[in-house]
Amino acid sequence: MKNKPVCYVPERIIPEVYSGTPTFLGLPKISNKEELENFDIVTMGVPWEGICTWGSYTDCELSTKTIRSASARYGGYMLDYDLDIFDHFTGGDYGDCIVQNGNYDVTFNGIKEKFGEIMDAGKFPIVFGGDHSISNPLIEVFAKKYNGKIGVIHFDAHMDNMPSFGDEKLARCSPFYRVYEQENIDAKNIVHIGVRGPRNHPDALGNAKKFGATVIPGMDIKLNGWKQAIERAIEVASDGTDAIYVTVCSDILDIANNPGGPPDPCGMTSFELAMMLHECGKAKTEAFDYVEIYPLEDKANVSSHTAVWMTLHLLAGVTKRKFNL
């Protein structure tokens, strides 16, 4: 693409998606629906935090700003694969959707409208949360596009498949119960990968089982390696589907590698996640979200930088697939 993002270029001009916040990677800003035409890969943000399920974790609505700020440090060239994503794709940043604190209706409509525009235009979306509740409306829109023939690979320390949190069915611990229930999705193509530890409810495995979803615990990845784990996940998500939706909660990573995330140890390193996302990209992934970074505990924005790397490893995989590299 023209003016593709390249690092170590002091004269590089990095546009703002809104004041004080650069666009993702310094890509062009997309100001309206019509401009979507010009871009293959499109970023949007969902600065939303709904129900808090654990009090001291709050403010993940800030991360649509911090991920973009971190991203300005980078280009699209991945030395690791000797491949520049933006030699092959164009990309742009479509800003954040409408939100209202405390109001799921306004916010989920905001998500569906903006994400729907990207889907309608046939683009590859990258969505930054916000809390994990947003994957529910996102996947709903995504499934519609593919007539429900989709797989979902869900990277997380937690199953996020509770029927509700108290009375609230849209809470961040429940999106995958909602997805299980979506009529045109077959839960047999859903994989929860990396789950672990005592912040999971005793019903979590049972809920997955009831709907036929697959679980690959974190312990399996650590003991037997990331390669076999992601191969199984892709197999399940691909079986009879046309496209895969990949959703990442930052706490799939060990808290050591994700200081701005929920404090869950015994997790993946950033390298292990990068490799698994790269494989997803090489498989038929067609949409991606990355959620639940809490910048307030992470002054150096390490988790936001890591989110950028993870996105680029996935996109490098997509590039290889689409251009047979």
**Which residues within the stretch 225-244 sit at the binding site for a second copy (CB under 8 A)?**
none
210 binds a second copy (CB under 8 A): no
CB of 121 to a second copy, least distance (A): 20
- Strands lying side by side in the sheet with 91-96: 91-96, 41-45, 124-128, 285-291, 243-249, 150-155, 190-193, 214-216
Burial (CB count <10 Å: 0-12, 13-18, 19+), residue 2: exposed
319 binds a second copy (CB under 8 A): no
Q: Scanning residues 116 to 155, which ones bind a second copy (CB under 8 A)?
A: none
CB of 295 to a second copy, least distance (A): 8
Q: State how far the Cα of 246 lies from the Cα of 35, in Å rounded to an integer.
A: 25
Q: Kindly tell me which of 62 and 234 has the beta carbon lying closer to a second copy.
A: 62
Under DSSP, the state recorded for 319 is H
CB of 6 to a second copy, least distance (A): 6
Q: State how far the Cα of 30 lies from the Cα of 59, in Å rounded to an integer.
A: 26
22 binds a second copy (CB under 8 A): no
Look at the block and give the residue holding tokens 């973009």: 68
Site track for a second copy across 80-119, x = CB under 8 A: x-x-x----------xxxxxxxxx--x---x---------
Burial (CB count <10 Å: 0-12, 13-18, 19+), residue 262: buried
Site track for a second copy across 29-48, x = CB under 8 A: ----------------x-x-
Q: How many CB atoms lie within 10 A of CB 282?
A: 18
Q: How many CB atoms lie within 10 A of CB 184?
A: 12
As a whole number of angstroms, the longest Cα–Cα distance in the chain is 56
CB of 297 to a second copy, least distance (A): 4
Q: Kindly tell me which of 46 and 246 has the beta carbon lying closer to a second copy.
A: 46
**In the set 219, 228, 231, 323, which binds a second copy (CB under 8 A)?**
219
Q: Using N-to-C axis directions, what is the helix angle for 302-322 and 270-282, rounded to 10°? A: 30
**φ and ψ of 18, to 5 deg:** -150, 170
Q: Kindly tell me which of 28 and 267 has the beta carbon lying closer to a second copy.
A: 267
249 binds a second copy (CB under 8 A): no
Radius of gyration in angstroms for the set of CA atoms belonging to the chain, rounded to a whole number: 18
**In the set 19, 32, 147, 324, which binds a second copy (CB under 8 A)?**
19
Q: Scanning residues 45 to 74, which ones bind a second copy (CB under 8 A)?
A: 45, 47, 49-55, 58-59, 62, 64-65, 70, 73-74
